[in-house]
Amino acid sequence: MPHIAYVNGQYVPQSTAMVHIEDRGYQFADGIYEVCVVVNGCYWDMDGHLVRMQRSLSELEMDAPMDMRALKVVMGEVVRRNRLKDALVYMQVTRGVAPRNHAFPPEGTAPSLVITARRFDFDQSDVKANHGIAVISQPDIRWGRVDIKTVGLLPNALAKEAATKAGAAEAILVRDGVVTECSASNAWIVDETGAIVTHPKTNEILGGITRQTAIACAEELQIKVIERPFTLEEAKAAPEAFLTSATSFVMPIISIDGTRIGSGKPGPVALRLREAYKACAAKG
């Protein structure tokens, strides 16, 4: 069965799906995106992702391709047509098609919308969490508004490629000695008191939807949450470290740049928070 994508009003085989060569997402990375996870037919944190999508569009003065109710229908139809129960749903909106010019196109130019879905291996995510992951550090060379979820991800891709070449699962990004986040996730440590620490929401990080839910779960578990900058050295010396993202949930980190974190095994705080997150997200 061919994979089916939604492209600007049509459901088409993904192998033949196309966008115009003058789409501004292609020429200027002038677009935003979101990724939602579907587990056993249920969306996890969907409303949070759609709220963030609206914020990204607003920050870039970009029109929405449709209202959020209609978008949910299209998302569901893409998943249905691909016959998926566990899925990653990717949504991308660009400023549309116009002759190449740095200035915005004329008012009324229709935005472009692409939605795809592929299988998500939920069980494999748990296997990875039970073993923990290795990460490396990389310089944070991204632009100054990473709080907007744009498709301009070349620095992220370079960092992730460096991690892959080093045999690591992710790259922690560091600016002026301070950990901001990771190439595709938010970074956390557990301090000596058992509190969890993560960089505050500023224009230096993307406010993760999983991050937001994890904070709520931690508060329910009576785990103290501290939003403050922390250094790479502090992270390497921490009893535990972990990351959060829509596709990783809460993922324990067992080494940074080859330095063992804590016991070198997934820590109890991260694993407890992961289970709490999964239980919360599964409620919809």
Q: Which residues are catalytic?
A: 149
Rounded Cα distance between 22 and 11, Å, is 21
Q: Select from 162, 136, 140, 95 the least CA-distant residue to 241.
A: 136
Burial 70-107 (b: 16+ CB within 10 A, else e): ebbebbeebbebbebebbbbbbbbbbbbbeeeeeebee
Q: Select from 202, 90, 70 the least CA-distant residue to 146.
A: 202
Residues 6 or more apart whose CB falls under 8 angstroms from that of 177 comprise: 231, 232, 233
Q: Which amino acid is at 165?
A: K
Q: Which amino acid is at 4?
A: I
Q: For residue 106, give Cα distances in angstroms to 7, 8, 113, 118.
A: 22, 19, 18, 35
- DSSP assignment of 201-268 equals SSTTS---HHHHHHHHHHHHTT--EEE--EEHHHHHHSSEEEEEETTTEEEEEEEETTEEPTTSS--H
Both tokens assigned to 44: 């996890």
